[in-house]
Amino acid sequence: MKNVVLYSFFTLCTFHFSFSQCDSNTVYDGTAVPEGVDINDGEIHQIAYGIEAGEYVFINGLNSTDTYQFKSNRTDSNNPNTDYITIYNGASQLIANQTSPLTKSPIGTSTIEIHVNLNSSCDTDIDFHTLTIQNITAATCNMPDAPGGVTYKSNIRIDFYWSAPALSNPESYDWRVTLKDDLPDNYVVSGVSTTLEVSTGDVLIPENTYWIYVRSSCFGNEKSEWFRFPTDYKMNNGAPPENDFCEGAISVVQDINTLSIGEAVVISGDLSGGAGSNVYAENCNEKTGNSRDDVWYSFIAQTSDIRINLSPTFDGVLTLYSGECNALSYISCSDDPNTSLADEEIVMLNGLTVGDVYCVRVYYLGTTTPVNPIFNLRIWSSSVATDNDMDGYVNHPNVDCDDTNPAINIGATEISNNGVDDNCDGQTDETLGLIDLDADSIEISPNPFHSRIFIRLTDSMEKKIDITVFDVSGRLILKSVKSSSNKIIEINNLEVLPQGIYFIKLSLKLNKGNKISIRRLVKM
């Protein structure tokens, strides 16, 4: 027994001694240094494209008396990581180790092993990382740096960014997008930018796979080497869904008086086509994913308790928010696999305010949309709730303002000229032809519109405004409550609407009381 105790103590001490000397067992199986690259020319050079944390790579041909700098980062805008680098010489002796960047002066050897890990605990992952080497002794006009990544990718457009080099000040940057495996000169689209983020515009082809290159342009038109993003970017096969952003969230109804999940209504969803996100991924159960492919739903709380079940075919993340899209408040998330169903996510919560709007978003934990991106969502409660007219809406003034009539509730379509507040918005709409009460207080542009409109308000108006859009038949198209930012409200993702005539109703709370303004819009 004593021998066992002594052996365990020795093991623990040995582990502590080598804690930060990460020694990976998996060798990088690609090309370490791209063909034609001179790692001693002073440029920042990418090496070991797409190396993973937990791998190591051999590099030869260094000048032993020169100073070198090494950087490694995870290339994911929503889940970045500054990596931990460990370097051994050709005799497997440790010569340097620290969090990126690592500078060794002089390097003292011509052959090294570079080990990449997430942190000094030597943690690993299976994501793409950008590893660079630079001979600082010979540095001039340096290549753009990591981290870099993609912030928006649809079926026809990519928005991407990069980092400025640390040791030079480029006047601008050249960027090019090519088909996969092509060199920068054989580009599909290109440009010059003085900023660190650009967009290709709507010029790419659905389902094609592309590479992205960027280089620095310095004083005297001196050019750096091309920095290639380590990931392949396959375009989506269809346009972004209407609920790609919070502002286009699909309104769903919370189930009430539901005894079990088997009785809850299934909301079928799909991440395919997800292009971008304006809400960063949260750290959920000690993991932070990439929310670029997220989709959004909204619901009105009908009970103070809620249960939300996500059953995806992928490693999904489920998040619940309160508030409006431009001022969301995070409430809860789930990325904790259930033992009976590996990918199921569940949020159970109390303390919701009946009648308030809440938002739910779903996205894939990984960096690229999964091959099978479908899921089922259920939003329900087993609590007893009063629903006298059995229309699925609880008896509450902000939800069902007449619980004796199943045709009247928050989800109903307002019927013109009936003298009834059908949709419980506090207004009785007699006609879509109401006189504009505040023509000088509101400006809506552009009109005609295509994908978005801007509503400009005066100082006399409070910040919240109820917005409803109808078609010419009076059918409800969009309903939302917005807050202005600098007296401007933006409504986007309208490109999905067919061309034609629409009416927008603005329910305003002015200093002198509530008023309504209705405008005619033309969709081109």
Question: What pLDDT digit, counting tens, does each position of 424-436 carry?
Answer: 777 665 444 333 4
Higher pLDDT among residues 79 and 251, named by residue: 251
What is the dihedral angle through the alpha carbons of 143, 149, 154, 155, rounded to the nearest 10 degrees? 50
Domain range 442-523, its CATH number among 3.90.1150.10, 3.40.190.10, 3.30.720.110, 2.60.40.1220? 2.60.40.1220
Cβ atoms < 10 Å from Cβ of 109: 17
Distance, in Å, from the CA atom of 240 to the CA atom of 220, rounded to the nearest integer, reads 42
Question: How far, in Å, CA of 174 to CA of 157, rounded?
Answer: 18
Computed on alpha carbons and rounded to an integer, the radius of gyration of the chain in Å comes to: 28
Give CATH 2.60.40.1220 domain extents, the chain: 442-523
243 close to 62: Cβ distance less than 8 angstroms:
no
Q: Which of 501, 505, 473 is nearest to 491 (CA)?
A: 505
Which region among 99-103, 147-151, 159-163, 196-200 has the lowest average model confidence (pLDDT)?
147-151
The CATH 2.60.40.10 domain(s) of the chain lie at 145-234
Taking Cα atoms as reference points, which of 476, 311, 335 lies closest to residue 410? 476
User: For 145-234, CATH number?
Assistant: 2.60.40.10
Phi/psi at 9 (5° precision): -65, -40
323 vs 507: CA distance, rounded Å: 19
Give mean pLDDT, residues 23-52. 91
pLDDT beyond 90 at 289:
no
pLDDT of the residue at 77: 59
User: CB neighbours (10 Å) of residue 414?
Assistant: 22
| Cα–Cα distance, 494 to 485 (Å, whole number) | 20
Backbone angles phi, psi at 263, to 5 degrees: -95, -10
Cα–Cα–Cα angle for 197, 198, 203, rounded to 5 degrees = 155
Out of 2.60.120, 3.30.559, 3.40.50, 3.30.70, which CATH number does the structure's domain 26-138 have? 2.60.120
pLDDT at 497: 84
Q: Can you read off the two tokens belonging to residue 228?
A: 């290639």
Which tokens hold the place of 291? 């929310």
> What span, in angstroms and rounded, lies between the C-alpha atoms of 496 and 396?
33
**C-alpha span between 136 and 152 (Å, rounded):** 34
Say if residues 165 and 142 touch (Cβ distance below 8 Å): yes
Measure the CA–CA gap between 236 and 373, rounded to whole angstroms. Answer: 12
* Cα–Cα distance measured from residue 437 to residue 453, given in angstroms and rounded to the nearest whole number: 20
Taking the C-alpha atoms of residue 88 and residue 85, their distance in angstroms, rounded to an integer, is: 10
340 exposure class (CB count in 10 Å sphere: 0-12, 13-18, 19+): exposed
Q: Give the pLDDT confidence score for residue 158 in this predicted structure.
A: 95
Looking at the chain, the whole-number percentage of residues with pLDDT higher than 70 is 85
On whether the 259-380 domain is CATH 2.60.120.380, my answer is yes
**Interval 371-417: pLDDT, tens:** 788 899 999 999 998 888 888 888 888 787 887 888 888 877 776 66
Report how far apart the first and last C-alpha atoms of the chain are (Å, whole number): 83
- pLDDT at residue 5 greater than cutoff 50: no
Handedness of CA 414, 415, 421, 426 (dihedral sign): positive
Give the contacts of 121 (CB within 8 A, at least 6 positions apart): 19
- 3-state SS, 411-474, equals CCCCCCCCCCCCCCCCCCCCCCCCCCCCCCCEEEECCCECCCEEEEECCCEEEEEEEEEEECCC
- Please tell me the least confidently modeled range out of 55-59, 262-266, 413-417: 413-417
CA atoms within 13 A on the CB side of 246: 24
Q: Which residue has the higher pLDDT, 299 or 315?
A: 299
State the pLDDT at residue 410. Answer: 80
ω into 147 cis (within 30 of 0): yes
Q: Kindly report which listed range (229-238, 314-323, 396-405, 408-417) carries the lowest average pLDDT score.
A: 408-417
Whether 438 has a pLDDT exceeding 80, the answer reads no
Among residues 131, 116, 121, 99, which one has the least CA distance to residue 54?
Answer: 116
What element of type H or E holds 16? helix 2-17
DSSP for 484-509, written as a single string: -BTTEEEE--GGGSPSEEEEEEEEEE
Closest among 327, 353, 329 to 463, alpha carbons compared: 327
pLDDT digits (tens, 9 = 90+) for 487-522: 778 888 888 888 888 888 877 655 444 567 778 888
Length of the chain in terms of residues written: 524
Instruction: Reduce the DSSP state of residue 47 to 3 states and report it.
Output: strand
Q: Are the C-beta atoms of residues 389 and 400 closer than 8 Å to each other?
A: yes
Distance from C-alpha of 306 to C-alpha of 253, rounded to nearest angstrom? 12
Q: Which residues have C-beta within 8 Å of that of residue 401, sequence separation ≥ 6?
A: 408, 409, 421, 424
What pLDDT is stored for residue 82 in this prediction? 92
Q: List where CATH 2.60.120.380 sits in the chain.
A: 259-380
| Average pLDDT value for the chain | 83
